[in-house]
Amino acid sequence: MRILLSTVSSDSHTWNLVFLQLLMEEAGHEVVNLGPCVPDQLLVETARQECPDAIVISSVNGHGHLDGARLIRAVRADRDVRHLPVLIGGKLGIHGNDNIEYARGLEDAGYDEVFTEGSDPAQLGDWLAALPVGAAPQPLGAEVGQ
C-alpha cells in the first residue's frame, strides 16, 4: 500500500513523522513523507500526483483540530482525491485528555479515522490493513502497465 504522510500545516515536528514512516515501512507499506509544515494545497497536489491508497496526518503541536479540519475540507473538495481514506492522529488540542472532544468534529469534517493522543500505534496498522489495496488511480502522466 502507498501512504502519503504529513503533519498539519502549522506543525514543525519531524520525529513523529520519522516514527510513523518507519512503522508503516516495517509493515510493508511504501511511504511518501512530505515532512512538516506542509500547506494544505501542496498536500492535495501531491496526493493527485502520487495517487496514494491513503493519507495519514500527524499532529503534535496541539492544533490538529483546527488545521486538520481545514485540511480535510481541502481534500474532500478536490474531485481527484476526495475518495481517499484519510486518518488524523496525535495531539489534536491542548487540553490533555479532554482533546478527545475534537475527534467527533474531525470525523464530521470528513476524516475516515481519528486517533487521539495516547492511541496504541498498532491501531494504525490495523486501520491500514482493513483498507482495500490498489484502488488508487495511476499518478498523473503514468501509463497503465508501467
What number is the average pLDDT over the span 62-78? Answer: 95
Residue 52 has pLDDT above 80, yes or no: yes
Q: Which of 26-35, 45-54, 85-94, 130-139 has the lowest mean pLDDT?
A: 130-139
Residue 10 to residues 30, 62, 78, 101, 118: CA-CA distances in angstroms?
A: 25, 10, 21, 21, 21
At residue 74 the predicted structure's pLDDT band, cuts being 50, 70 and 90, is very high
Q: How far apart are CA 72 and CA 131, in angstroms?
A: 18
Which pTM does this prediction carry? 0.88
For residue 140, the model assigns a pLDDT of: 47
Query: Contact 84/47 with Cβ under 8 angstroms?
Result: yes
Query: Contact 84/136 with Cβ under 8 angstroms?
Result: yes
Q: How far apart are CA 29 and CA 104, in angstroms?
A: 28
For residue 118, the model assigns a pLDDT of: 82
Q: How far is CA 57 from the centre of its chain?
A: 3
- Give the residue carrying C-alpha cell 506542509: 38
At residue 121 the predicted structure's pLDDT band, cuts being 50, 70 and 90, is confident
